[in-house]
A and B are shown apart, each in its own frame.
Chain A
Amino acid sequence: MIRLEGVGLHYTQGTSPGPEVLRDLTFVIPEGGFRWLLGPSGAGKSSLLRLLHLAVRPTRGRLSLLDSDVGGAGRRDLALLRRRIGMVFQDFRLLPHLAAFDNVALPLRLAGQPEGQVRADVTEMLRWVGLGKKLDARPAQLSGGEQQRVAIARAVVSRPHVLLADEPTGNLDDGQAERLMMLLKEMNRLGTTVIVATHNDGLVARHPGQALRLDHGRLVEHG
């Protein structure tokens, strides 16, 4: 379950706090829920995803994620919590010096999974996203769409409890985008809470579901 109560967030500019990018957010997403995250550019979608990915802590209010109070959690607890959250970034955020295989294997290795199991899971996942023959390719040797698929494989390979995606179809063709949506819905069906930020109205129309709509950092619609 994800629960926000009066959450606000601002980034610091030098030593002084900048303007709030998220304001008074209060909502609950039950375990296994699916939400579109909508809103114009600058509405705070990416900041909310960063908050839910525990890349930043709320500057006010209370955030509870997977039964843990983020505000009071220790650094190690937060790290262990992050392992249960998958994130697909808009800019992929792959490690350029690692092959596709090793990029996808990272979450499993961090979780201490045996190498034999890592090999099986990663190979299967990369095959599933259509990169079974590019295990050893580095990100620079892959197209934008292929890099996006590696990023998706890395986000889902550890079967996270929460999956966050920031414009995950931005670099995919329609066929790949539909395939990705199938994957997200299948994971959601198996119990993963999924939140997808997108500008793609067509995608939302083809896969209707509940939405969180932000505007100027405030939640203006939830349903």
Chain B
Amino acid sequence: MAGWWSMARRRGADDLGLSRALGDRTLLGVVAAMTFLAALAVAGSVGASALAQRWQGGAGAVLTVQVPRPSTPAADAAGVTRLDRVVAILGGTPGIASARPLDEAELSDLLRPWLGSGTGRLSLPLPAVIDVRLAGAGPDLAVLATRLETAAPGTTPESHGVWVRRLAALARSLEACAWLALALVAGIAAAVIGVATRAGLAQRRDAIEIVHGLGATDSYIAGRFAARTTRLAAIGAGCGAVTALPVFLVLADLAAPFAPGARPAGPAAGDPVLAWLGVLPVPLWIALLALPAAAALIGYATTRATVGSWLRQLP
């Protein structure tokens, strides 16, 4: 047993003494911090992307039409109320998927923030509100407004498209900033690993020259360095990703009211594992798993390139 252990220990001998040259703690700590920042950048990107999609696919596809005095007769059709006439026009307009008048309860909910509960007891002349869902690019709003004005003067269609487009542009900008931050973090991590590798090369120059003289190829020497930095980068990044997880959970909890439906529904809701996994969006789980792999890849590639370049000074 002792012989086997001795042999196994020797097989994995650190012939270049890299455990002394490439210290664990500093590189681990720096990579962990970089990964934490990268995870935050990814979270920002995923959040901004989700918001942009939600706004564009949700509020951007909605039109609100207010019809004052809804029960009075329409101006361009006999025996029809203004509300029914407007709903009929909306229903027959290309680019409109549906047009549904809000019922009294929904209207009360809408007005509660301003008028409090019990709006039904107030004797205010409330307009009817029609919730319109658009299909595709939607109708020409100017034409639609003219038609509605003719049928029921005072009717106002209100599109959310303009401010939604602005918000979506803002969200896309935030997403781009997050990706830029991610690229910067990756660049800084590569630079840090490069500096650490060069310091290790300077420190182990004698050992490298000896091993080189014994017939070690550039690939072998670079591989020894790369194996160590790759391992340290992967472990450091794993620590950073694990540290980011509770932060994500808190942020997801805070964001939950703004993203209804993000939590699992149906069978997943009854499964504690699926329910727990569903606390975060799938892209974030993928990012948490991918970050250590990406850090390892950056560590490997940077070290191979740095050592390969340095070795060219030897014959």
Q: Does chain B have a CB within 8 A of A153?
A: no
- Which B12-45 residues have C-beta < 8 A from chain A? 13-15, 17, 20
Mark B204-216 against chain A: 1 for CB-CB distance below 8 A, else 0: 0011001111111
B220 and A110: CB pair below 8 A? Answer: yes
Q: Is the CB of B7 within 8 A of A102?
A: no
Assuming the contacts A98-B13, A102-B13, A102-B15, asked whether A110 and B211 have C-beta atoms less than 8 A apart, the reply is: yes
Interface extent on B, as a size class? Answer: 20 to 34
Assess whether A79 is in contact with B20, with CB atoms less than 8 Å apart: no
- The CA of A115 and the CA of B3, in the complex, are separated in Å by 12
Asked if B11 contacts A106 (CB within 8 A), the reply is no
Closest residue of chain A to B11, judged by CB? A115
A133 within 8 A of B: no
Report the nearest A residue to B220, measured CB to CB.
A110
Please classify the interface of chain B as helix (H, G, I), strand (E, B), loop, or mixed, using the class held by over half of its residues. Answer: helix
**Inter-chain CB contacts under 8 Å: number:** 70
- B217 contacts chain A at the CB level, 8 A cutoff: yes
Q: Is A101 an interface residue (CB 8 A)?
A: yes
Segment at the interface with B among A20-28, A53-61, A176-184, A214-222 = A53-61
- Interface residue A206 (Cβ < 8 Å from any Cβ of B): no
**What are the residues of chain B within 8 A of A80 when measuring CB–CB?**
215, 217
Complex CA gap A82/B315 in Å reads: 11
Residues of A participating in the B interface, judged by any CB pair closer than 8 Å: 53-57, 75-76, 78-84, 87, 93-99, 101-102, 105-107, 109-111, 115, 119, 154
* Of B207, B214, B216, B315, most A-chain CB atoms within 10 Å: B214
Query: What's the Cα separation between A126 and B239 when bound, in Å?
Result: 44
B7 lies within 8 A of A115 (CB)? yes
Q: Give, as a whole number of angstroms, the nearest-CB distance from A204 to chain B.
A: 26
Residues of B within 8 A of A106 (CB): 15, 211, 214
